[in-house]
Chains A and B, each alone.
Chain A
Amino acid sequence: MTRQTHRLNGTGRRLDRSKPISFTFDGKRYGGFEGDTLASALLANGVRLVARSFKYHRPRGIFTCDPHEPSALVQLRSGARQEPNIPATMVELYDGLEAASQNRWPSLRYDLLSVNQLFSPFFAAGFYYKTFKWPAKFWTGLYEPVIRRAAGMGRLSGSIDPDTYEKIHHHCDILVIGGGAAGISAARAAAQSGARVTLIEEHARLGGFDGTGLEQDIAELEALVNVRIMPRTMVFGWYDNNTFGAVEQVSDHLPVPAAHQPRQRIWKIVAPQVILATGAHERSLIFGNNDRPGVMLASAAERYLRDYGVRPGSRAVIFTTNDTTAGLAKALGAAGVTVAAVADARNGDEIETVHGRTAVTGVTLRQRDGSRRTVDCDAVCVSGGWNPAVQLLAQRGQKPRWSDGLQAFLPQEMAGAEFLCTGSLAGLEDREDCQAHGRMAGEVAAQRFAAPDSADLASYHSYLEANEARAASFAYFETSAGKSKKFIDLQNDVTAGDVSLATREGYRSVEHVKRYTTLGMATDQGKTSNIHGIAAMSKALDKPMDQVGTTGFRPPYRPVSLGALAGRSRGKHWRPILRTPLHGWVEDKGGVFIESGLWHRSQYFPKPGETMSQAISREVQAVRSAVGFCDVSTLGKIDLQGPDAAAFLDRVYSNGFAKLPVGKSRYGLMLREDGIVMDDGTVSRLAEDHYFITTTSAESESVISHLEYCHQVLWPELDVAFADAGEDWAGTALAGPRAREVLARIAPELDVSNAALPFLAARECTILDGVPARLFRISFSGELAYEIYVPSPYGRPLAEALEREGADFGITPYGVEALDVLRIEKGHVSSELNKFTTAADLGLGMMMSKKKDFIGRALSSRPGLTDPDREVVVGLKPLDPSHSFRQGAHITARGAPLAPENDDGYITSSAWSPTLESHIAIALVRRGQERLGEVVEIIDPLHGEDPVPATIVSHHFYDPENARVRS
């Protein structure tokens, strides 16, 4: 373990020196103390070089003490918990922590790709657009993989994240964002009214930039029962109706989360009043080699000294434009660090360039008179002033306002009906100002919460105005001379030269320059640097800062892990599974399930040793020759009642229902208003004013919504009511020539004869021993068949009864595969209802009533939908019955060249028909009904298969006379 060469004795108020900690960086062991961050501990150990830059692979160190650290991004942990691109400044040290540098090979010190610097002329602004344009196929094959490897950042583990993440809602009266001096004062003042106050702070502790002397205030705040303090929580988004998204790092500071604790938690917070005390971000300055390890923000150097007892070096140079560095010079001196020079831009002094490669060794100073001198040093502390953290406000569409006095972009409005701004976000600098104004903000928020129009904001506003009027108004961003690279955006390697080049090439909008140069597009979103891009544009275009303006800000304020956003919605929780009432029975029978929407439906019931296709054929043959039954509980079911029910049905279905007698079922077709088929199903009239509707499984939700719209919006005058009965009823289809004999056994009280219960009969009856049932003689298979519905809890008993009572007749359970084969043989449409087809396309033109108006009637007569050239439903049989078709394969006339204009349609359903002993298909074919008997070619260039010759036939392959369903 190395010695902590840069650790001071005595200072470091965050540290618990009684608790030493050991950790590794790039495999090497180091020591630190509890309370350290990874960044402070690395600095304490004298580690300067911690990363390689994104594009040029330049050596980089620790630049800030903040969450938006642009340079020191590391990979944390190992194994499944490996996590890339984490700012070392935000990593709370724990014993055994493993961290590694990124974007370097073979090692951090000897990174071969640092040769990229030599080619930097090629990597200038817009290099993607200029360099890698031709030939197109090189893009995915060569350029992209190479660039991705070179410009990559950390690596994901590739394993499943073993930790959990969760989401939670929170409501409070007043939300305070930011736990610095202003936020603490605001929360205390607001809480005195008794309002429920929540204070959010992204760091582990309250106190902000300088928490010394705030201990008492913090303790008092923590003692208040109506205040909730949420540390390690970052508000990433501000949405409509004062809804906020925040992420809490519950366990990131621990090696592994505690039992039953998530790693992170997403909070959705709603608050009628919010106080923004988000603070400010210190700016860098732009000078030669300003990215060398050892160059850091002055505020960071001060915090490392004070909070972590770490000195930035032995000899420091301070480069500043403002008074906030005064304390730093004193603190450095007190820590025994020699302040070799202070270059105050206000006096005309500046740093021209930094010397050293993997660490600072000195600087060249340029003085007011133009003279230069070189100063040896190992640390450079920079302050270019402060940028108020306006990002959350800007997310709400506020364009920040440039203040010449404060030389900063401030919130356009310091107060809205639901928010207030205070602290350094509002341009305040001194602790006392922040506290005094924070109190005002807290009081105003409390008054507004109690009575929205009562608050007096006069002193709240005048305080800020006076502060702005006092400000010094000194503008300085970039050194005036020197040839070395001057970085604006450290994380994306964007230099002052890149911005200048972009303006020379004609870019005028800040949004365009951002995208062309990638300035501010890295994970730090340019919080330390965007202002310099704007200043450079202002200079190059000779436009004032406010006319250049800022780019837009969108959530998230800082990166949020995908795991947190996903929360519990992963694995089986990604989407719910719908199980039918017969699910358990199907499982017991060894049935195989298939996902169909959210449903798990029984696909087929294999016997030992059977293949899937053997099982399906056996099931089909059983239905054709004896009897089978199938779970149809997934169909949508709607109970419709009311004196105007018949009139309502007449308007929503294309065919007529007014004359449907009680005790009968009818097939119904529902169109969209644009004339395209929406859904099909059956309607059964149980009583004069009572109907039972089934819809397809896939459309049950949308049909309900559609019917509700028709009823509530279009025709509220119709007296009907309906209920979604989808989950109330379990349904089975009982089909086959011997179905009647099985039905007679399970419904002994019912006359099941053909005369008493003819085709399309509908009955409410009791079956088994008094189970209420709805029974419809409806057939999808083309055989004598019944659909039997019982209340859901009786689904399984019904299946067991059918199996038991049908055993003598050879009853066979069948799944959706056999169901599909049966309906294709019969020529019933199903997947042909694909949102492109009309009733006429489907061969159902006769279901378009001419006697009434209905949804979709008017527009179904449009020329485009009545064009005789349209693709219509037909059947296909291969000349060689063993040739199979693939769904989606296309149809061309025989001998027609392979060209889009010769595309005559496509296959919508296909199956092996054990009944016909041939492959068959249903297809949509141009003018298909006029081409019955024509031999066409089935082509499937996508799968590279040879054309299959096939004959166009009627799609009613089986029993076209419809005799069996009536038998």
Chain B
Amino acid sequence: MRIPCPLCGDRPLEEFTYRGDATLTRPAADAPMEAWVDYVYLRDNPKGPHREHWRHAQGCGSWLVVDRNTVTHEITQAIQARPGGEVQR
């Protein structure tokens, strides 16, 4: 599998570390406990398209938002997680 890092180009899987679901939002400080439990522990396990956080750990160090199909491993988009840093390929 290769991931198109917006800064470094197509790079092999071995250079990246995986974190998981990129669609979660960290709850507000005063959010109820349930919101925090959801945020930290509960995950869907989608078959098909998934939006994920990857870090180009052995490269530029960027955290990326990667749209990956969990069945085919097809990657349709990889952008930098930080706003404004979205270098599209």
Contact = CB atoms under 8 A, between A and B. Distances in A.
Given A859-B36, A859-B37, A241 B62 contact: no
Contact of A705 (B41, B55, B81): B55
Given A705-B57, A858-B31, A240 B73 contact: yes
B27 interface: yes
A852 to B, nearest CB: 8
A858 B41 CA distance: 13
B43 interface: no
On chain A, which size bracket covers the interface?
20 to 34
Contact of B1 (A239, A705, A862): A239
A399 to B, nearest CB: 14
A243 B10 CA distance: 13
A466 interface: no
Interface stretch (A366-374, A677-685, A711-719, A769-777): A711-719
Contact of B63 (A243, A713, A861): A713
A241 B1 contact: yes
B1 A673 contact: no
The winner among B53, B82, B84 for most chain A CB atoms within 10 A is B82
B26 interface: yes
Nearest to B37: A859
Contacts of B82: 711-713, 716
B33 interface: yes
Interface in A703-734: 705, 708-709, 711-714, 716
A673 B40 contact: yes
A243 B1 CA distance: 8
B88 interface: no
Contacts of A716: 81-84
Contacts of A853: 29
Nearest to B80: A712
B2 interface: yes
A708 B82 CA distance: 10
A240 B2 contact: yes
A673 B83 CA distance: 23
Interface string B62-84: 11000000000100000011111
A243 B13 CA distance: 11
Nearest to A268: B12
Given A240-B2, A713-B53, A713-B82, A708 B29 contact: no
A423 B63 CA distance: 46
Given A240-B2, A240-B73, A674-B40, A858 B55 contact: no
Nearest to B84: A716
Nearest to B73: A240
Interface in B21-74: 26-27, 29, 31, 33, 36-37, 39-41, 53, 55, 57, 61-63, 73
Contact of A712 (B1, B2, B12, B81): B81
Contacts of B27: 858
Contacts of B61: 708
B63 A708 contact: yes
Contacts of A713: 53, 63, 81-82
Contacts of A239: 1
A606 B53 CA distance: 49
Nearest to A713: B81
Contact of A240 (B1, B57, B84): B1
Given A239-B1, A705-B57, A853-B29, A712 B63 contact: yes
Contacts of B26: 714
Interface residues of B, number: 28
Interface string A229-241: 0000000000111
Interface in A538-561: none
A236 B26 CA distance: 44
Contacts of B63: 708-709, 712-713
Nearest to B32: A858
B89 to A, nearest CB: 14
A857 B81 CA distance: 24
A711 to B, nearest CB: 8
A705 B56 CA distance: 10
A858 B82 CA distance: 24
Contacts of B80: 712
Nearest to B29: A853
Contact of A858 (B1, B36, B84): B36
Interface string A797-815: 0000000000000000000
Nearest to B64: A712
B49 to A, nearest CB: 16
A709 B54 CA distance: 10
The winner among B2, B17, B37, B63 for most chain A CB atoms within 10 A is B63
Contacts of B73: 240-241
Interface string A107-130: 000000000000000000000000
A712 B62 contact: yes
Interface string A842-871: 000000000001000111011000000000
Interface string B4-19: 0000000010000101
Contact of A708 (B1, B12, B40, B55): B55
A241 B10 CA distance: 11
Nearest to A724: B61
B33 A862 contact: yes
Nearest to B63: A712
A513 B39 CA distance: 43
A341 to B, nearest CB: 52
Contacts of A241: 1-2, 73
Interface string A679-711: 000000000000000000000000001001101
Contacts of A859: 33, 36-37, 40
A431 B82 CA distance: 58
A712 B55 CA distance: 10
A705 B17 contact: yes
A39 B43 CA distance: 56
A405 to B, nearest CB: 30
A861 B32 CA distance: 12
Nearest to A704: B61
Nearest to A241: B2
Contact of A709 (B2, B19, B31, B36): B19
Contacts of B36: 858-859
A713 B51 CA distance: 14
Given A673-B40, A705-B55, 8 more contacts: A240-B73, A705-B17, A709-B55, A713-B63, A716-B83, A858-B36, A859-B40, A862-B33
14 contacts: A240-B73, A243-B12, A674-B41, A705-B57, A708-B55, A711-B82, A712-B82, A716-B81, A853-B29, A858-B29, A858-B31, A858-B36, A859-B33, A859-B40
The 5 A-B pairs at the shortest CB distance, nearest first, are namely A853-B29, A240-B1, A712-B63, A716-B82, A858-B36
